[in-house]
């Protein structure tokens, strides 16, 4: 048995189990680090046989094992969590081995193990919700590099004649997250994204920006699949529009059937649904215990 925490900016989801078949979860709001971690520790204390805990966390995170601040949340707008030693504090509180990665790298790992990316060695998982994040596996391993991917902060063409909205990213204004996250949709159209009807022009523009981001990710990484999760991606029509626009943008340059006749199986929702995140945390814990 393993423990996992999908740590989001508004919600913590804790789980114990070893796979999608034997999952027990509990969730509660993200408040102060001390209070939130105490609630998680209380949940885990009910399970005596846990071998390790995996954290799939919001970030940015310091994931450099050689760094003094390894496992810390760093540059987050949530000030109580900024420069907080998340992995260290969970380890001290639970007295269990703890591993940490980004929420999206965790989700990618879960989809590789049990979901839409089984058998693939290079793919991305992108979430579109309160923010936009991306992670994935390349050459069979989770993406790290210098720090970890920050795919939400891609710069894409933004025609201010067509779309006067300036973007909401506090760092970059009109980066992908600034133009196409849930809060960007809300601010541009003056209402919550889930209240915008399918025929509203919001969705064509949304598909346009996401397709631009995906085209850039395809050109950079050549993923074998692109998985799109998160609250904003709950509409099937959005997938249809994005697939078409990615094909138009690539314009036949990348000659792979996956991007032509196979596009419906190339840009897909997560197979694990809303359990992808917490299963990612569990997959991280499993990998730590069995490494």
Q: How far is the CB of 232 from a copy of itself (least distance, A)?
A: 19
Site for a copy of itself in 169-228 (CB under 8 A): 171-172, 212, 215-224
Eight-state DSSP code of residue 4? E
Q: How far is the CB of 8 from a copy of itself (least distance, A)?
A: 19
Nearer to a copy of itself, 1 or 249 (CB): 249
The packing angle between helices 276-290 and 103-114, to 10°, is: 80
- In order, the DSSP letters of 111-139 are HHHHSTTTT-SSEEEEEESSSEEEEEEET
Eight-state DSSP code of residue 67? S
Q: Does 251 bind a copy of itself (CB under 8 A)?
A: yes
Nearer to a copy of itself, 228 or 278 (CB): 228
Nearer to a copy of itself, 66 or 236 (CB): 66
Site for a copy of itself in 144-173 (CB under 8 A): 144-158, 171-172
Find all residues with CB under 8 Å of 108, minimum gap 6, and list them.
117, 123, 124, 125, 135, 136, 137, 142, 227, 280
DSSP helix/strand/coil, 259: helix
Cα angle 110-114-115, degrees, rounded to a multiple of 5: 85
Query: Mask of contacts with a copy of itself, 96-135, x by CB under 8 A?
Result: -------------------------xxx----------x-
Q: Which region among 37-45, 137-145, 269-277, 282-290 touches a copy of itself (by CB under 8 A)?
A: 137-145
Q: How far is the CB of 180 from a copy of itself (least distance, A)?
A: 14
Nearer to a copy of itself, 50 or 132 (CB): 132
Q: Which region among 7-15, 28-36, 140-148, 230-238 touches a copy of itself (by CB under 8 A)?
A: 140-148
How do the residues of the chain divide into helix, strand and coil, expressed in percent and rounded to 5?
40, 20, 35
Nearer to a copy of itself, 106 or 223 (CB): 223
Q: Which residues are paired to 141 by β-bridges? A: 138
Nearer to a copy of itself, 54 or 178 (CB): 178
Q: How far is the CB of 215 from a copy of itself (least distance, A)?
A: 6
What is the rounded radius of gyration, in angstroms, for the C-alpha atoms of the chain? 19
125-142-88-64 Cα dihedral, nearest 10 degrees: -120
Cα–Cα distance for residue pair 115/282, rounded to 1 Å? 14
Q: How far is the CB of 258 from a copy of itself (least distance, A)?
A: 6
Note the residues at the interface with a copy of itself (CB under 8 A): 60, 74-75, 121-123, 134, 138-141, 143-158, 171-172, 212, 215-224, 249-256, 258-259
């Amino acid at each position: 048995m393993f423990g996992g925490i999908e740590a989001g900016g508004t919600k913590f989801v804790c789980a114990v189990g070893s796979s999608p078949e034997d999952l027990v979860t509990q969730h509660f709001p993200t408040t102060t680090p001390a209070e939130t971690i105490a609630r998680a520790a209380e949940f885990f204390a009910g399970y005596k046989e846990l071998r390790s805990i995996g954290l799939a966390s919001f970030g940015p995170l310091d994931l450099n094992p050689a760094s003094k601040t390894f496992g810390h949340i760093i540059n987050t707008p949530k000030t109580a969590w900024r420069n907080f030693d998340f992995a260290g504090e969970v380890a001290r509180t639970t007295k269990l081995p703890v591993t940490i990665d980004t929420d999206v790298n965790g989700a990618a790992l879960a989809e590789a193990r049990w979901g839409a990316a089984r058998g693939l060695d290079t793919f991305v998982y992108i979430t579109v919700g309160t923010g936009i994040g991306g992670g994935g596996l390349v050459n069979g391993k989770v993406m790290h590099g210098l720090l970890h991917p920050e795919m939400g902060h891609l710069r894409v063409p933004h025609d201010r004649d067509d779309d006067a909205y300036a973007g909401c990213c506090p760092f970059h204004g009109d980066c992908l997250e600034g133009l196409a996250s849930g809060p960007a949709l809300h601010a541009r159209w003056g209402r919550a994204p889930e209240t915008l009807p399918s025929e509203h022009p919001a969705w064509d523009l949304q598909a346009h920006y996401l397709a631009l981001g995906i085209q850039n990710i395809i050109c950079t990484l050549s993923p074998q699949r692109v998985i799109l999760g998160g609250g904003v991606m709950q509409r099937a029509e959005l997938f249809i529009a994005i697939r078409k626009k990615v094909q138009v943008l690539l314009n036949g340059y990348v000659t792979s059937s996956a991007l032509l006749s196979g596009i419906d199986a190339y840009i897909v929702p997560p197979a694990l649904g809303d359990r992808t995140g917490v299963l990612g945390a569990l997959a991280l814990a499993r990998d730590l215990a069995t490494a």
